């Protein structure tokens, strides 16, 4: 036991003696890459797959090092290249999403700044509160930096000023536009009855509350592929939720909803280009992550 400890100490001293600034930078870059990958797949189905791949990789590595299992070691060494090729196929949707996020992050032009119109926030809060009291379902998507043009094209173009009355009329039951989402850009209601991508992350499956349906899945879906903020009113319970970055805050009243929307769209000192690039790729500091139901 003492010899084992001495060998361990000697190995640690050997490593630290050869540690340089370049070595620290090298290790830091490797850690940053893995940290970025984990952020990209967090709260997605890819995280479950990644855990399974890691477990299999560790087991295969341990069993392959056992000298009494030569046939198994040969089999694993032969199939390992095929497994490496299969990983991009398994994680294709997540890789595509990450590349799209990188592409969106490269657009740092000031004209893409998020809308900060207080009138729009007031209209959305007023409409959501009144829709909630009437238990009329609604999905309101507020565009920020990322363009939502491909989803606008799936709906009915409106290009009208956002008012509570307009939102109430759009989401009145059994009207032609009440199904789907409305997309708001700045102070304009761009389109209604838009089709949103459905989330496949499994967040709603883990919830003990089953009163969440397609509107909540669509809100999560659009938040996973863009930086948009989605406000959802449940048709079954009248509960108001807000979604951003694949995370949902539920059971909001008018005051909390307004405060969160203001936090998303408040004027802020423009960050440096590098900081802005990182925040676009890894949106970790959004208000909805500070308070989660």
At residue 222, the pLDDT reads 93
DSSP line for 114-137: PP--HHHHHHHHHHHHHHHHHT--
Packing angle of the helix pair 118-134, 254-265 (nearest 10 deg): 150
DSSP label at residue 171: T
116-143 mean pLDDT: 92
Strands (DSSP E) contained in 113-217 are 138-142, 156-161, 181-185, 188-194
pLDDT averaged over every residue in the chain: 78
Distance CA 10, CA 87 (A): 38
40-49 mean pLDDT: 61
Indicate the pLDDT class of residue 283, thresholds 50, 70 and 90.
low
At residue 74, the pLDDT reads 75
Q: How many CA atoms lie within 13 A of 220 on its CB side?
A: 20
Locate 279 and state its tokens: 């925040």
Residue 180 pLDDT > 80, yes or no?
A: yes
As a whole-number percent, the residues of the chain with pLDDT over 90 amount to: 33
At residue 102, the pLDDT reads 60
4-25 mean pLDDT: 78
Distance CA 256, CA 121 (A): 12
Distance CA 253, CA 265 (A): 18
169-192 mean pLDDT: 93
Distance CA 160, CA 184 (A): 9
At residue 279, the pLDDT reads 57
pLDDT digits (tens, 9 = 90+) for 233-250: 999 889 999 999 888 999
Distance CA 147, CA 109 (A): 13
pLDDT digits (tens, 9 = 90+) for 50-79: 676 677 777 777 776 666 667 767 777 777
Distance CA 116, CA 60 (A): 53
Distance CA 286, CA 290 (A): 7
Please say whether the beta carbons of 102 and 277 come within 8 A. no
Separation of CA 107 from chain center: 19
How buried is residue 124: exposed, middle or buried, by Cβ count under 10 Å (0-12/13-18/19+)?
A: buried
User: Where does 113-289 sit in CATH, by number?
Assistant: 3.40.1700.10
Q: Where in the chain is the domain with CATH 3.40.1700.10?
A: 113-289
pLDDT digits (tens, 9 = 90+) for 80-105: 677 677 767 766 666 666 666 666 55
Please say whether the beta carbons of 194 and 155 come within 8 A. yes
């Amino acid at each position: 036991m003492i010899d084992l400890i001495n060998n361990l100490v000697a190995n640690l001293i050997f490593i630290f003696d050869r540690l340089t600034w370049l070595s620290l930078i090298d290790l830091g870059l490797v850690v940053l890459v893995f940290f970025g990958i984990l952020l990209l797949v967090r709260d997605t189905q890819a995280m479950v797959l990644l855990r399974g791949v890691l477990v299999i990789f560790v087991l295969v590595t341990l069993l392959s090092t056992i000298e009494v299992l030569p046939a198994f070691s040969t089999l694993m060494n032969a199939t390992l290249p095929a497994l490496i090729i299969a990983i991009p196929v398994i994680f294709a949707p997540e890789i595509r999403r990450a590349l799209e996020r990188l592409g969106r992050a490269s657009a740092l032009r000031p004209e893409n700044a998020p809308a900060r119109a207080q009138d729009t926030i007031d209209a959305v809060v007023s409409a959501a509160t009144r829709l909630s009291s009437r238990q009329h379902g609604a999905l309101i998507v507020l565009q920020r930096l990322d363009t939502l043009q491909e989803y606008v094209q799936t709906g009915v173009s409106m290009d009208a000023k956002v008012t509570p009355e307009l939102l109430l009329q759009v989401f009145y039951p059994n009207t032609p536009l009440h199904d789907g989402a409305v997309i708001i850009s700045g102070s304009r209601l761009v389109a209604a009855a838009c089709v949103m991508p459905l989330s496949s992350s499994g967040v709603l499956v883990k919830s003990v509350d089953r009163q969440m349906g397609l509107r909540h899945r669509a809100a999560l879906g659009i938040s996973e592929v863009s930086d948009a903020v989605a406000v959802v009113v449940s048709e079954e319970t009248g509960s108001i939720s807000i979604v951003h970055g694949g995370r949902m805050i539920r059971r909001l009243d008018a005051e909390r909803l307004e405060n969160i929307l203001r936090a998303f769209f408040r004027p802020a000192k423009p960050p440096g280009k590098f900081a802005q690039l990182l925040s676009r790729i890894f949106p970790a500091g959004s208000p909805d992550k500070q308070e989660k139901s």
